[in-house]
Chains A and B, each alone.
Chain A
């Protein structure tokens, strides 16, 4: 069965430091990949997505992610953290051959920004 693993339920970085949130998926065929962000008491909004075009994907708010097939990874990065980036981040996958047509979700990573 498809699965998505986000390493680290909490990640803490200093303001201005590099943000790296990890996501690995299990699939022999590259799926479509998404990063969503959830601010406190809000719904989820899309940060960026990979749908088999360019492997380096740029999203909103300065985030980007690189699809690496050899590592089955889709890690999210931002060069310089801002206090407003504090939120929970979810990696999700559309399995390419999944007949149930549902997103598979990671457990989420809470990003904490230290002043």
Chain B
């Protein structure tokens, strides 16, 4: 059973370009979470999704950021018109139905905006 897969591992974008980060949850997991980790800071929750639904996006910036988790395929975190401040590590985690188990994390995507 493969773990949570994120790709790409590293992504470089010029200011103004779009960044697309992908996350494939573990098999059988229907909950996906996206987190951002800025240098020297802890994890910040961005968004929580279930299949085809955004459950909680309270941590998402109001502009330029969006997320989806379609019925088929990976979850996508999309950042439009990237700025230097978007440079960070973005982690995806997935979990099954019950909260008594842990969330499983991907290796992260390190976004660098130049």
User: Looking at the complex, which one of A45, A49, A94, A100 makes contact with B105 (CB distance below 8 Å)?
Assistant: A45
Instruction: Closest A residue to B99 by CB, please name it.
Output: A94
Contact: A102 with B43, CB < 8 Å? Answer: no
Closest to B102 in A: A46
Does A107 belong to the interface (CB within 8 Å)? yes
Interface range on chain B: under 10, 10 to 19, 20 to 34, or 35 or more?
A: 20 to 34
Within 8 A of B (CB), among A31-84: 32, 34, 36, 41-46, 49, 51
A-side interface residues toward B, CB under 8 Å?
32, 34, 36, 41-46, 49, 51, 90, 94, 100-103, 105-108
State how many angstroms separate the Cβ of A106 from the closest Cβ of chain B.
7
Q: A42-B107, A44-B91, A46-B102 are known contacts. Are A105 and B43 too (CB-CB below 8 A)?
A: yes
Give the docked Cα–Cα distance between A44 and B94 (Å): 12
B41 proximity list for chain A (CB < 8 A): 107-108
Instruction: Say whether, besides A42-B107, A94-B99, A100-B55, A105 and B48 are in contact (CB < 8 Å).
Output: no
Task: Indicate if the CB atoms of B48 and A43 lie closer than 8 Å.
Answer: no
CA distance A45 to B93 in the complex (A): 11
Q: Across the interface, do B100 and A32 meet the contact criterion of CB distance under 8 Å?
A: yes
Q: Is the CB of B43 within 8 A of A49?
A: no
Residue of A with least CB distance to B108 = A43
Bound form: Cα–Cα A41–B58 in Å: 26
Q: Is the CB of A49 within 8 A of B42?
A: no
In whole Å, how far is B1's beta carbon from the nearest beta carbon of chain A? 15
5 more CB-based (< 8 A) A-B contacts, given A46-B102, A103-B33, A103-B93: A43-B6, A44-B43, A44-B105, A102-B56, A106-B42
Inter-chain CA distance A100–B108, complex, in Å, is 23
